[in-house]
Structure 1
Amino acid sequence: MLYRLITARLQATSLLRLTLFSTPLLDEMVSGFLSIGLPLANKQLGLDYTQVGLLFGAGALAALVLDPFINLLSDRYAKRYWILGGLVLLGVGFALASIHNFVLLLGAFALIYVSISAAVGLSEAALIDQNPQESARTMTRWTIMASIGDLLGPILVSLIIIQEGGWSRLCWIACIACLTMACILGVQRFPRTAQNDDEEGEDAPSVRLLDGFREALRDTKLIRWTILSLLPTMVDEIFIVYATFYLRDVLSVNTSTIGILIAIHMIGGFLGLFVIDRVLLQRLSPERLLMCLALFVIASMVGFLTLRSAIWAGVMLFLLGVSVAGLYPIATAEAYKRFPGRSGTVRAVASLGTPFEVVLPYVTGFVADRFGVVASLCLLGTAPLLIILLTPGKSR
């Protein structure tokens, strides 16, 4: 059944949209190379923990500074060239990362982070611009593809390690994948959108960039939806990290069982996105659906922390996966709807929340050190409460 559904969708979808929908898969896969495969580089280059932190810090800082400008300019000039340029530079970044030199590696990480924003972030924006009214479904399917990439990254790294491959081989695989996707996109025509007369990149006549950005910052509903799109970060990967500590240190679950429980959580996420895409988006308004999912997250979180057994932990993690997976795509889709045809401006506003994502792991770690891992999970568990408080009323 799932195979027939996917086949039908592929037949009804243009090659351009298929390629753009593949970029989150590529993003999560090569990002997995950076995070999971870095110990290979650590071994070959003799990096210490401080240098490893500097690598990720350089990337985050470069993205923090440049992302708003890239996103804003993408509303004036055709996104096609930003996406293609981002993919090419992403390939160059991984080629540089393969060289065993710390300074080059530092520059490579900065280039990779910025290129991901241009290539992947603007692929998402281009898909939204093609059909703004279907933004919720687009974002749900985008998140499904990203989840598949999350799975492929560790698998590929493991296969390369088994074959005694090193950091350089990982980097060259990522480089070839990025350049291949750039070639596939390069021969395709992007459709006309509201902010671009054609794909050749003429100036957008409608909105001056800075004036449009100020207008977006004054839109209170956009700001609320942007905050709502950031809050799911608290119950995403960082939650999994501290949930793992909770299972090990509080419930005394062994490592192999923890792996199974986390896999159950991921399966729940896939199922949740599938149900949202196929059923719930047709039956509930985005506001009501977001509220229902947030309530479901609260109930599952309470169960996870109070039912002290591995079996119940697995059940609650599955339910958390089902409910958490839809929070980000729904909120992000509603943010895009505030400014149809100006997805770059919406992304520029959203990029102002990057410091929150950077600081959150440190704050959570501080709370865990001072008050325990349960306290850190309670802190992260405030996300659905904030979502309920901030979700706007149903649009008329």
Structure 2
Amino acid sequence: MLFVRTSLRNLSLFVVALYGVELLDELIYGLHGAALPYLRDEFTLTYTQIGLLTTLPGLLGLGFDPVIGLLGDTRHRRALVVGGITVTLLGLLTMGAASAYGWVLWASCALFVASGAYVNLSQATLIDRDPARAEQTMARWTLLGSIGVTAAPLLLTLVFSSAWRSAYFLAALIAALFLAALIRQRFDRHNGAHDEPAAPRVLLRQLLSALRQRTLLKWLLLTELADLMLDKLLEVTGLYFRDVVGVSLAGASAAVAVSTIAGLIGGVVIVPVLERMPGLRLLRLSALIVLIAYVTMLIAPGVGLKYALIALVSFATAGWYAILRAKCFEALPGQSGTMIAVTSLANLSSLFVPVLIGGVADAAGLEVAMWILALGPVALIIGLR
């Protein structure tokens, strides 16, 4: 009986730690965004240098993430997760102690690449533990991420004020706690967990086989298109309200805050809803609501109405990523690492979306470019028939 109680306690710690990884990752992401003004002032950074803090890590991730995903379907998953958290801990300490821009850039690259190991593979491990409840698992995962990214700027503003380095040291302490919680856990629910290390050509063959899975490609395409109403819309919300609607800078920031808070509330609501409603049914219903609300927002004249509609869009899309990501995992049962590898390749297409929107906005105006984002709900309505 004592052994059973100990096993259950360890199991609970394992699951909590895996979920907490997403909270930590988004806390770091939100902290980095909130700390940028402090970094710029302290190191006298140019906009090009600031942009490089995102661009260079992203390019490195394109090379590392597929390899990490494929290795995640081998016996090396635990080593990748533990190694990723260790590098994250070192990256956070480096960021907090940085004395020059070069150290900040190195830490940014280390944090981004490391997250591809410990975050993605922690998510995959949660899915492998209970594949039948992938949607519910992803809903909880997404909610914790929303809490993390929302809490970061509040933490920096209310607790540490201008002491941005202390915030990074606190994040490093949290990373150390997760490292201690996961370092002795077993990651053995996936295919290949007990096999001998596979040759590179075998892993490549596995990746190519996954790329031929039509069901997986369908869900990947829908996930990428749905993101037009998720991250891509959030990225231009402030600009839209400032340049098209004509509100003040404070009003534009308020629009982003309204969208973020509405999405967080939606994330809270979606967890119990998915216990009662099939995910695909929810997607179909919400896609129609979002299309109507978004088009109305673009053509409605009232500023107050636009604020209400951007909140409705963000609230209604709260479950999209969770459901679509779960469907991707379901398309490759037991091969969650390979699915992550394929997803990382598919993410390459999303790098060109901001350029496309920017090009159309320069040529015809942002109010015209915003219509491109409507392809998100349209794709779901058509693809889920």
TM-score, normalising length: structure 2: 0.89
1:1-396 equivalences in 2 (<5 Å): 14-97=12-95, 98-159=97-158, 162=161, 164-166=162-164, 168-187=165-184, 189-190=185-186, 192-197=188-193, 203=197, 208-280=202-274, 282-284=276-278, 286-391=279-384
Structure 1 residues 182-202: Cα deviation after superposition (integer angstroms, max 9, x where no partner)? 112224x3364142556xx86
Task: Tell me by how many angstroms 1:78 deviates.
Answer: 4.1
Counterpart Cα distance in 1 of 2:40 and 2:108: 14
Which secondary structure does the structure 1 equivalent of 2:246 belong to? coil
Paired residues of 2:65 and 2:116 also in contact (CA < 8 A): yes
Q: Give percent identity, aligned residues only.
A: 29
Structure 1 ranges of 4+ moved more than 6 A: none
1:221 maps to amino acid: T
Task: Tell me by how many angstroms 1:96 deviates.
Answer: 2.6
Cα pair distance change 1:271/1:221, threshold 3 Å? same
Task: Tell me by how many angstroms 1:335 deviates.
Answer: 0.6
TM-score, normalising length: structure 1: 0.87
Structure 1 residues 362-383: Cα deviation after superposition (integer angstroms, max 9, x where no partner)? 2222222222221221112211
Structure 1 residues 64-94: Cα deviation after superposition (integer angstroms, max 9, x where no partner)? 0010000100101242221111011011122
Task: Tell me by how many angstroms 1:304 deviates.
Answer: 1.0
Counterpart Cα distance in 1 of 2:269 and 2:93: 40
Structure 1 residues 221-258: Cα deviation after superposition (integer angstroms, max 9, x where no partner)? 10111122222322223312322222233333344444
Cα pair distance change 1:239/1:74, threshold 3 Å? same
Paired residues of 1:125 and 1:343 also in contact (CA < 8 A): yes
Task: Tell me by how many angstroms 1:354 deviates.
Answer: 2.5
Paired residues of 1:76 and 1:209 also in contact (CA < 8 A): no
Task: Tell me by how many angstroms 1:160 deviates.
Answer: 5.4
Structure 1 residues 118-144: Cα deviation after superposition (integer angstroms, max 9, x where no partner)? 111111111011111111111111110
Task: Let me know the Cα RMSD of the aligned residues.
Answer: 2.6
Task: Tell me by how many angstroms 1:44 deviates.
Answer: 1.7
Paired residues of 1:59 and 1:114 also in contact (CA < 8 A): yes
How many residue pairs get aligned? The number is 376
Cα pair distance change 1:92/1:194, threshold 3 Å? closer
Counterpart Cα distance in 2 of 1:325 and 1:47: 35
